[in-house]
Structure 1
């Protein structure tokens, strides 16, 4: 049984792909070990940063299987099962259970616009069938639905162990923390990495931080500083996170630049390839060179990373 509450730094792991869009197995092995060695508290596969909905079921299943094998129970593995199809959602959920994943992550199906009430009904149908503990995932920019507190409450009654909030709405995040603070086992996890200190110091539990793909130790240190309420340390570490946002995340002009930039950073660090799943394409040579230059400006190669 997974230890509750879910907490700490849980990177939304990218999916390392080869040019032919098959799984980059060597890169995956290096990436998972890089994350675990960096001290992360869990790994979340097939989220937005992992390009989950863009991958074939075959690649999704292979990614879950291989990640669970490499992690080997050192940290919990959480699996995104969100799909437009109910059966597709269940297929991935059941596979995750079979190969040793620890928890599932559920966002609204993302094609037809649905109401809060319809989302509640969907959860009533889906959640009792899930074979593992599950968290909710609020990702309105990709799903068209900003989960209401009422829907989250309904999910909790159906057994949800927490929520990952990627709305970018700090007021909503505080409302979630306030609403569920009476249950210390229900996790409120920030999807916006810059909100990490506020989340922890106000009673939340952690962050699904995309930047932890390449600098896991930086985010683990920031989490620990927030737990310790070490304001001086929080300030200096947050400056480094802001630097990531001003450099690596600012290459390219489309919103997909976060995913592409993260993959390009991992390529620059010789961890894995940087190919994307369609419809996304990887950065141009000039953009990749820029990312490489930015990565070299951080002194974390030695201090923060297992990759030298």
Structure 2
């Protein structure tokens, strides 16, 4: 996972049975869908996975299952920064790494309290690095429990340790993205942008790829953009505008609407979520159905052959 090739790293959903248990058969099919779409890696046990609603045992079993199904075809990363204290977080980081992932992701909002200074955050990161040996780590500026954005200067220092190989960025600021890329050049490191409104700009600026929730609706389209972003043509502009135009509908009631979309496209998974989200009303379903129809038109224009089933 570095800047040499552009790739899409999905923030994975977690399929559940209607009784709330993890649907491992559905998870297998979901992994296979991502792989068939051409993804460059997978991010398991993340916010889209409903990680805060999983037990410690479930988090480990889920990641082990993903790693097993992937079977080395692409790298897998997964969140591991759970626990009250930094030593407890380090202990779980080591457990997640033992599942076979390439890097363990730390949620920036779990490494310091919202009121803590950048200095406290830096000290906590240093302690986590000390307690996790040579485990490759990454950061995710997750919006829950709160969004802590890492500055370019901080990221540069962390990456210079040789331990930070991955960063999922949610700053929503293309100038910040450019600055972060500039200070991390020359390292075994990749920045993956979550914000699809400036996806093409980010890829052209040097990001390693994209890691966005929109890929849980149309993973093959995000892969297409990563493959074609450097073609200055109408198709690239149209795909970028498609994501901008449908930003709101793909965020409203997520992740249940993403599960509904994939279900409508042919993936046999339940819409059950443990996360308390907006009720999937008929109005919302109608909007997603229209979104799928709009995508089918675009898909035809781009001659994308991918099918969910």
Could you say which residue in structure 2 is the equivalent of 1:218? 221
Could you say which residue in structure 2 is the equivalent of 1:115? 117
Q: Given the alignment of the two structures, is residue 137 of structure 1 paired with residue 154 of structure 2, yes or no?
A: no
Distance change (3 Å), C-alpha of 1:294 and 1:67? same
Please give the residue correspondences for 1:67-78 in structure 2 after superposition, counting only pairs within 5 Å: 67-78=66-77
Give every structure 1 segment of 4 or more consecutive aligned residues whose post-TM-superposition deviation is greater than 6 Å: 2-6
**Matches of 2:99 and 2:228 in 1, distance apart?**
35
The 10-residue stretch of structure 1 (235-244 or 48-57) with the greater mean CA deviation from structure 2? 235-244
Distance change (3 Å), C-alpha of 1:306 and 1:95? farther
The 10-residue stretch of structure 1 (203-212 or 92-101) with the greater mean CA deviation from structure 2? 92-101
Please give the residue correspondences for 1:149-188 in structure 2 after superposition, counting only pairs within 5 Å: 149-158=152-161, 159-181=163-185, 183-188=186-191
**Matches of 2:33 and 2:80 in 1, distance apart?**
24
Could you say which residue in structure 1 is the equivalent of 2:239? 237
**Matches of 1:304 and 1:115 in 2, distance apart?**
50
Distance change (3 Å), C-alpha of 1:288 and 1:25? farther
2:2–2:188 Cα contact (<8 Å) kept: no
**Matches of 2:131 and 2:256 in 1, distance apart?**
35
TM superposition score normalised by structure 1: 0.86
**Matches of 1:8 and 1:100 in 2, distance apart?**
21
How many Å apart are 1:96 and its aligned residue? Answer: 2.6
Q: Given the alignment of the two structures, is residue 294 of structure 1 paired with residue 298 of structure 2, yes or no?
A: no
Distance change (3 Å), C-alpha of 1:27 and 1:172? same
2:109–2:147 Cα contact (<8 Å) kept: no
Q: Report the 3-state secondary structure (helix = DSSP H, G, I; strand = E; otherwise coil) of the residue aligned with 1:41.
A: coil
Could you say which residue in structure 1 is the equivalent of 2:262? 266
1:217–1:304 Cα contact (<8 Å) kept: no
How many Å apart are 1:75 and its aligned residue? Answer: 0.6
Could you say which residue in structure 1 is the equivalent of 2:96? 96
How many residue pairs are counted as aligned between the two chains? 299
How many Å apart are 1:118 and its aligned residue? Answer: 0.9
Q: Report the 3-state secondary structure (helix = DSSP H, G, I; strand = E; otherwise coil) of the residue aligned with 2:255.
A: helix
Distance change (3 Å), C-alpha of 1:154 and 1:84? farther
**Matches of 2:206 and 2:2 in 1, distance apart?**
18
CA shift digits 1:78-117 (9 cap, x unpaired): 1012335235533442333222211111122448322211
**Matches of 1:3 and 1:107 in 2, distance apart?**
20
1:216–1:305 Cα contact (<8 Å) kept: no
**Matches of 1:281 and 1:91 in 2, distance apart?**
35
CA shift digits 1:191-229 (9 cap, x unpaired): 212322111111221110211123111111111112x34
